[in-house]
Structure 1
Amino acid sequence: MWLHARIVAGAAGGSRRTALPPTQGFKIHVSSAPAHAERLFDLVVPVCVESGVEFKAAADPVMLGVINSKTQERGFSGKFMTVYPPDEDVFVTLIETLHRRTAGEAVEGPYVLSDRRYRDSKVLFYRYGGFRPPRRLNIDGTQSTFLVSPDGTYVADERLPYFRLPPWVRDPFAEEPAEAAPQDTTEEPAEDPAARPAGEPAATLLNGRYRIEGALAFSNAGGVYHGTDDATRGPVVVKEARRLTNCWTSGDRTVDSVDMLRHEYDVLRRLEGLEFVPRPVDLFREWEHTFLVEERVDGIAFHDFWAQDDVILAPYIRREGRVERFVPRFREVAGRVIRMIEQVHARGVVLGDLSPNNILIDSETLRMWFIDFESAVHGDDEAALLAYGTRWGTPGFLHPDRASRDRLLPCDDWYAAAMLLYSSVVPATAFFALNPLAQDLFLDELVALGMPARVRSVVSCLTAGRVEEAKSVLAGWEDA
C-alpha cells in the first residue's frame, strides 16, 4: 500500500493538473531510516509540489519497515519515496535541488542497491526504469514489466541488486564524483561470474585478508559468503550486515542489522571453546558494511540429513528395516542436542532460534554444530536485545508463550529442541499453530505404525520442559 500523490500545481488564471509522467525515465529514490521518515517527507514534498512532479511514498511506518526488512527483495529495498521527473532536464535540476535541501540535515537511509548514489548524499539515489511500463502476463499468472528501447524492442525492467543502465541510456552524472557501492563488494553471487557487473573481480579480498570465493545465501540485510583466510589458509564464513536495514525500535533505541551482527559476534565469543560452536575470527567494517568472520564447519543442514533416502522415516515407515535404521540415529541425535543446549545454557546464553536451518550435521559421525546466533541472548544484554530475541525465530519452533514475554527463557530452547526432533520424524511443525492437537495425532499414528513410543516420550518431555525426564528415557533406551 502506498501514499500516492498526483500533484496539482498552481498556474496563472487558475489551477491545472500536471500531465502524467512518461512511461520510463530516470527516477529518484529517497531512502530513509524509520527515525528520519517524517523529516524527509517534509523536506522532499514541497520541492515536488513546487516542481509539479509526481511522487509516491510509503504509507506508514509499518510499510517502511517492510521495505527495509531482512526479507525484502534486494532490488526493491530502501525506497521510502519515489519521484518521477517528466524528463531528463527536470531530473537533473530536481535531484540537485533535493540534494541542497537535504545536505545539511541529519537524515540518512539504507543504500539502495539497485541505484546509484547522488554525490555524497545519504538519502538520494537514482536509476533508469519504468514509470508506467508495458506489462506482459506470464504463464504462471504473474506480470513482467518492460522498458522500450529506441527501436521499439521490449527489454526487461529488472530491479537488480546493483546499478545498471539500459545500453541506450547515458548517465547524466557519469563524470560526477558520486559514491557508489564498490564493485569488489559481493552483493552479487560470486559463484556466478556472468551475473557480475562488468569489471568485477572473480574473488574479493576483504580487510586485506579474507578471500571471498562464493555466496551461501543473500538477504536484504547482507549476504553470507564462504572463503579463505589468507593469514591462516583456513576456511571461513563471512556474514555481512548493511546499515539501517532490518530496523526495529524498542523505546528510544533503534536497532539495525549491524547492531545484530555485532551482537552475534559477542555471543560467539561467550560460547568460544565449545566444540559445536564455530570459532569467531574477526569483526570489521569495510566501506559502509560490517562483516563477521567465523570458522567454517563442514556438514549438511539438519533437515537435509533427515530427508535423505536411507534416513527418512515418514512416509516410508511401513518399509522393511526403515524404523530399525531410524531409531539409532534419532536416539544419538536427541542425546547430543540435549547436551549441546545444556552447555550453551551453562554459559548463560539462550539460543532463541533453534531450528533445522541453524544446525549442521555430519552424515557419517552425526556430529553437529549450532550456527546463526543472531537471536541468542545473554542475561547481561540490554532490554532492547532481550526483547528482540522474543520476536525473531522460525515458525513452528517457537514456544506458544514466547510472544507474551519480554525476554527469552531456557524453556524456549527446550520447546524448539522438541520440535527439532519432531521434524526429524515428520516435518509438520509449521502447521501446529493452526491445530495444536495435531502434535499428538501425528506421533500417535506413527507409534501405531511401528515407531517406538520412546520417540514420542522424548518429544513430549522436551515440549513440557522436563529435560531430566527426557534424558532418563534416552538412558533407559540405550540400556534396553
Structure 2
Amino acid sequence: MTQFATARSAMGPRRGVSYVDIVRVHGLHVDPRGRWAVVGHSDRRHGWKLHLSSVPVEAEHLLSIVAPILAARRVSFKFAVNDDVLALLNEGSLGPTQIGKFVTVYPISDAQSRSLAEELAAATDDFEGPEVITDLRLGRVVYTRYGGFSPNVERDRLGHFFSVLQDEAGVRRDERAVPFVAPRGVFNPFADRVEEQQKAPSRPRTGKLFGPGYLLLEVIKPDVTGSVFLALDMRDPAQVAPKVLKEARAHCLSDRLGRDARARLRHQLEAHRALAGRVPIPSADAYFEVNGNGYLALEHIEGTDIGAIQPRPFSTMPVAEQKQLLARLAALAAALQALHAACYVHRDLAPGNVRVRADGSVVLLDLELAHALGSRAPPFAQGTAGFMSPEQQAGLPADCAQDIFSFGALMALLCTGIDPRRVLFAREQQRRQQLGALGGLAPNMAQLIARCLATDPTCRPSAAEAGALLHAELAADASSTPLIAKRRATPTAIDATRARAGSCLPKLARGLLQNVLLDEATGLWLSPQSGVHEPKELRSNYALHRSAHRGVSGVIYVLARFTKAGVTCRDVRDRIQHATDWLLEHAATPDDQMPGLHFGEAGVALAITEAVHNGLIERGEWLDEYLSEALQGPLDWPDMTHGAAGQGVAALACGDLLEDARLSAHARRCAHYLLASQDADGGWTLPEGVVGMMGNRYLGFAHGVAGVVYFLAEWAARHHDADAAWAARRGADWLMGHAQSTSPEGALAWPTKPGESEIWRWWCHGAPGIALTFLKLFETTRDVRYAEVARNALLAHPRDIRYSNLSQCHGLSGLGEIYVEAARVLGEEVWLDRAARIADVMLELTREDENGGISWLVEDPFRATADLMLGCGGVAHFLLRLCHADLSAPLLLASKSLQEPVGAYA
C-alpha cells in the first residue's frame, strides 16, 4: 500500500516572518544563505558547537536576548532565516536530527564553549524549545555537540556527500548519534554534564510500565515528534485492556499561537469527549505527561486500516470485493454524516485514519486536527498530502466540504489504485472520464468521486447524499459495471493504445521543454536533490545535475530519441546544443566527475552521442576527445548504475551509434575488471566505497549481480568471449539459486540481497529488472531455461498493475519498458498487452497546458521534473518506445544478436 506522508504545515499558510532584522539591530552583518542567516566566519574545522532551541512564539525574543551576547563574544553563528524554516525544523521536515536547532554557535575555543554555554543558559532559562536529540543538554534551550564547523566534505562511490572530521582522535565521519554519545579521544569541556544526562529519565521503552500504569508492548509508529505505542492498560487488574498510546514531544509542531504537539493531544481528548456515543470513534482515557512529553491513551480498535488493500482498479476486483468496498465506503459516509451532524469536521481523512472492523463497521481515528464548527479557536494546520482540500491547504475556515474532498480522494485511491495527487494533477474538466477509465467504474460512481473532488466546495455533495449514492450503487446489478480493465489482449486493443500514445508524442516532447521545473539562470532542467530530508514542495530542494539518471543528460537522451523517431518540436535543437555546451564546461554539480552510466560521465557520453547520431549536434574532433576521457573512468565498482557494468554498456552503445569499433576497447577493460572481481560462487561483492553497502552482495539490476550479468552476456555474444560467457552463466545460476516462488502460477521474486525478507518488484531491485537480464541471456544464448525464468519473473505484478510511482527506476514506466522488451525478445503479445495497459494509465494521468505540452507527477508528487529515470522523461520514453519498438530500453543496448526473436512479434 502506498504510504502517504503527513503534510505537517504546523505554522499554517506560509507568511515568512523574518528574523534577520532582529540581529542586524545589534550592529551585526547578516548574510542570508537560503534557509539560514549567517553572522561572521569561523576558522575552526571542528569543535564543541552550541545549539539554541526555540518555538515560533518566542523565537524573536530569544534572538533579541542572545544576539548581543554573541556579538560581545565576537563568535560566528547562524540562525533560521524566518519562522517558516523554524517550523520545518521543529516538525522534522529537514531531518530528525535537525529538530530544535534554531541557532548554531561556533565558539572560538573549547574553553569559550563552556563559558558561553553557561552564559546563554542563564540568559534563556525562561524559554522553551524542542529537545535536540543529537546533543548534550546544558540548559532549558541550550545544547552542545562535538562536530564540524567547516569540515572537509567527501563524496562516496554513489555520489552521496558526508562531512569528515580530522582531529587528535583521527579521521572519521561526522556522525550525529542519537542519543548523544560523547566522542572518544577529544577533550570534552562538558564531561561532568555527560554523566548527569546519562542519569536523566529515558524515553519510553517497550516491556516497561509507563506513566500511570501502561505496559508498553511495541512501537506502532516511530516519529521524532511523537511516536505511537501499543500498550496494555494495567491500572486496574480486573480491567486489563489493549490501548493505543499517542506521544507528543514537548514543543514539537509549535505554531504561531504557542500550541505544540501536546496541545494537539489535549485538543483530541476534548473532541473524543464531545463526540463519545455520537460518532464511531475510539474511547479515550485521560491525558498525562511524563518528563514534559504528553501522552493520550485510546481504545485499541481491532481491524484493518481502510487503505490496507492492494491498490488495483475497481473493475478487476471480484464482485464480492466490489460490494465489500462499496459497503465500507457507505459506512464511512455514514460516519462522516454523524460527525458533521455533531458539528465537527475531521480534517485528516486519510487511508491510515479509518479503521474497518471484522464486521464491516467503520471507526474514525486520529482526531488531532478535528475542529468544532463555529469555534473561534484557529484550527490546527496540518493534514495528509493528497487528501487535503485546496481550501484547507490555503488555511481557510474549516467546513464539512473539506471532509468531502478528503472522502473523494480516499475513494479515488481505493477505486483506482492511484495516489490522488497524480489523479488531481490532470485537468479537472475530464475528471469523471479519467476516474472511469482508471478504475473501470460505472458512470454514477465515477461522477460521485469527481463531484467530491470538485475544486469549488459548493459543488461537492453532503455526506448524506454521498452515502445514499453509494447505497444505490451497492444495490445495483454488478453486471452493469463496465469492466474496462478486462479487455482482451488483442492486436486491436494494443493498436488503439499505440495510436492514442502516438498522437501525444509531439506534446510529450513539448512538455519536456516547457512543462517541467527549469533553472531560471540557465534554462536547464532541474532535478530533485539526492538524500535530502526536506519537503520536496520547496523549490530549493531541486538543483542542476548532469547525469542520465537524474539530470540534464538524461533529458538530452530522451529528446534525441524522439528526434530519431521523427518527433520534434521548435527549439529542441537549440536547447540540446545549449545543454551540451553546459555539460562540456563541467559546471559545478553534485555528480560531476563520477564515472557511471546512470550517475556519471559514461551516461553523459551516451546522451551526447545519441544527440550527435540523430543530427542534433555536429560531430567533430571534440567528440572523440570527450568520449576518450568519459569512457575511461576508474573501474572500482561493479554495478550497472555507477560502475563497470554500466560503463561497459555505455562504451558498446556509443560504438554502435557512431559505428566505431574502437570504442569497444573501453568495454573490454570493463569486462576484464568484472571477470577478475567475480566471487567463487558466481556473485559479486561490493567493494569499499559506500557505508552500509560495501561487503554486501545485491541481486537486482541497478546495484547487483543482474546488471553485471546483463553486460557480460552481451559482451560475450559480440566478442565470442568464452570467459565472459562462463562468468555470465555462473552469475545467472547464482541468481536462480536465490529466486523465490511466490504464486501457484510460478511467479518469481528476489530479495534485495541474500538473507533479506524485503522483496522489491521494480527495475532497480527485484524481479522485473532481473527479468531484463534473463531476457538478454535468452537472446544471446537461446537457452530456453532463461526464457522461462524471465517469464516467471515478469509475473511479479498483476496484469492490471496500479502503483503511485510512475518512474522508470521504481515505478510503472520502468515496468512497461520491461514488458516491451519481453515482447520483442520472446515474441509474445501478452507482454505487449501488459505494456499497453500501463500506457493507458499514463495517458489518463497527463496534464496538458494551454500550449499543448504534457507532463506528469512521476516519482515526486509535488513538482514535474524532466528526469529520465525519476521524471517525465522516463514516462515519455516509455510511450515513445511503445510506438517505436526498434528503440532499445533506456540506457541499454539495441540487439546485436544474429538470430531473430522467437514468435510473431516484430
Task: Give the TM-score, by structure 1 length.
Answer: 0.81
Superposition map of 1:79-228 within 5 A: 79-103=101-125, 106-118=126-138, 121-148=139-166, 150=168, 152-154=170-172, 156-169=173-186, 171-176=188-193, 182-186=200-204, 203-228=207-232
CA separation of 1:71 and 1:63: change in aligned 2, threshold 3 A = closer
| Pairing 1:418–2:408 present | yes
CA contact (8 A) 1:24 1:130 kept: yes
**Distance across 2 between alignment mates of 1:264 and 1:446:** 37
Partner of 1:20: 43
Q: Aligned letter for 2:313?
A: L
Residues 357-378 of structure 1: per-residue CA shift (max 9 Å, x gap): 212234x543332211111011
Q: Aligned letter for 2:38?
A: H
Residues 330-368 of structure 1: per-residue CA shift (max 9 Å, x gap): 221121111111122232211111111212234x54333
Residues 69-123 of structure 1: per-residue CA shift (max 9 Å, x gap): 25443321111111112332221122123233434xx4332222221221xx222
Larger Rg: 2
| Pairing 1:295–2:295 present | no
Q: Aligned letter for 1:345?
A: H
- 2:288 match: secondary structure: strand
**Distance across 1 between alignment mates of 2:240 and 2:397:** 40
Partner of 1:248: 255
**Distance across 1 between alignment mates of 2:188 and 2:286:** 38
Q: Aligned letter for 2:88?
A: V
CA separation of 1:89 and 1:451: change in aligned 2, threshold 3 A = same
**Distance across 1 between alignment mates of 2:363 and 2:388:** 20
Partner of 2:397: 407
| Pairing 1:66–2:88 present | yes
CA separation of 1:160 and 1:300: change in aligned 2, threshold 3 A = farther
Q: Aligned letter for 1:2?
A: W
| Pairing 1:476–2:466 present | no
CA contact (8 A) 1:243 1:258 kept: yes
Which of 20, 28, 36 is residue 2 of structure 1 equivalent to?
36
The number of residues matched between the two structures is: 430
Q: Aligned letter for 2:436?
A: D
Partner of 2:344: 349
Residues 221-259 of structure 1: per-residue CA shift (max 9 Å, x gap): 22111221112321111111123221222xxx3322111
CA separation of 1:405 and 1:141: change in aligned 2, threshold 3 A = same
**Distance across 2 between alignment mates of 1:275 and 1:401:** 25
**Distance across 1 between alignment mates of 2:324 and 2:437:** 21
CA separation of 1:327 and 1:405: change in aligned 2, threshold 3 A = same
Partner of 1:359: 354
Partner of 1:195: none
Q: Aligned letter for 1:470?
A: A
Partner of 2:825: none
Q: Aligned letter for 1:116?
A: L
- 1:237 match: secondary structure: strand
CA contact (8 A) 1:27 1:85 kept: yes
Q: Aligned letter for 1:4?
A: V
> More helix by proportion, 1 or 2?
2
**Distance across 1 between alignment mates of 2:59 and 2:251:** 12
Which of 435, 440, 447 is residue 443 of structure 1 equivalent to?
435
Superposition map of 1:258-273 within 5 A: 258-273=262-277
CA separation of 1:141 and 1:268: change in aligned 2, threshold 3 A = farther
Q: Aligned letter for 2:323?
A: P
CA separation of 1:238 and 1:432: change in aligned 2, threshold 3 A = same
CA separation of 1:458 and 1:112: change in aligned 2, threshold 3 A = same
CA RMSD of aligned residues (A): 2.8
**Distance across 1 between alignment mates of 2:161 and 2:39:** 24
CA separation of 1:458 and 1:99: change in aligned 2, threshold 3 A = closer
**Distance across 1 between alignment mates of 2:124 and 2:332:** 53
**Distance across 1 between alignment mates of 2:84 and 2:198:** 28
The unaligned stretches of length 5 or more in structure 1 are 8-18, 191-201
Partner of 2:365: 371
Partner of 1:193: none
**Distance across 2 between alignment mates of 1:382 and 1:70:** 29
**Distance across 1 between alignment mates of 2:115 and 2:427:** 60
**Distance across 1 between alignment mates of 2:158 and 2:468:** 53
CA separation of 1:146 and 1:352: change in aligned 2, threshold 3 A = same
- 2:425 match: secondary structure: coil
CA contact (8 A) 2:336 2:463 kept: no
Question: Shift of residue 432 of structure 1?
Answer: 4.5
CA contact (8 A) 1:283 1:292 kept: yes
**Distance across 2 between alignment mates of 1:42 and 1:402:** 34
CA contact (8 A) 1:323 1:451 kept: no
Q: Aligned letter for 1:313?
A: P
**Distance across 1 between alignment mates of 2:278 and 2:165:** 54
CA contact (8 A) 2:127 2:140 kept: yes
Partner of 1:196: none
Partner of 1:12: none
CA separation of 1:359 and 1:72: change in aligned 2, threshold 3 A = farther
CA separation of 1:333 and 1:360: change in aligned 2, threshold 3 A = same
CA contact (8 A) 1:396 1:432 kept: no
**Distance across 2 between alignment mates of 1:87 and 1:78:** 23
Q: Which deviates more, 235-244 or 36-45?
A: 36-45
Residues 309-342 of structure 1: per-residue CA shift (max 9 Å, x gap): xxx337xx5x6xx353442122211211111111
Question: Shift of residue 126 of structure 1?
Answer: 1.0
**Distance across 1 between alignment mates of 2:375 and 2:158:** 47
Question: Shift of residue 477 of structure 1?
Answer: 3.5
**Distance across 2 between alignment mates of 1:433 and 1:299:** 30
Q: Aligned letter for 1:243?
A: A
CA separation of 1:228 and 1:47: change in aligned 2, threshold 3 A = same
Q: Which deviates more, 396-405 or 277-286?
A: 396-405
Q: Which deviates more, 62-71 or 165-174?
A: 165-174
- 1:175 match: secondary structure: helix
| Pairing 1:49–2:71 present | yes
CA contact (8 A) 2:346 2:371 kept: yes
Which of 391, 394, 398 is residue 384 of structure 2 equivalent to?
394
Q: Which deviates more, 236-245 or 404-413?
A: 404-413
Residues 163-193 of structure 1: per-residue CA shift (max 9 Å, x gap): 222233464334348567944323xxx5xxx
CA separation of 1:405 and 1:54: change in aligned 2, threshold 3 A = closer
Q: Which deviates more, 414-423 or 396-405?
A: 396-405
CA contact (8 A) 1:280 1:295 kept: yes
Superposition map of 1:331-342 within 5 A: 331-342=326-337
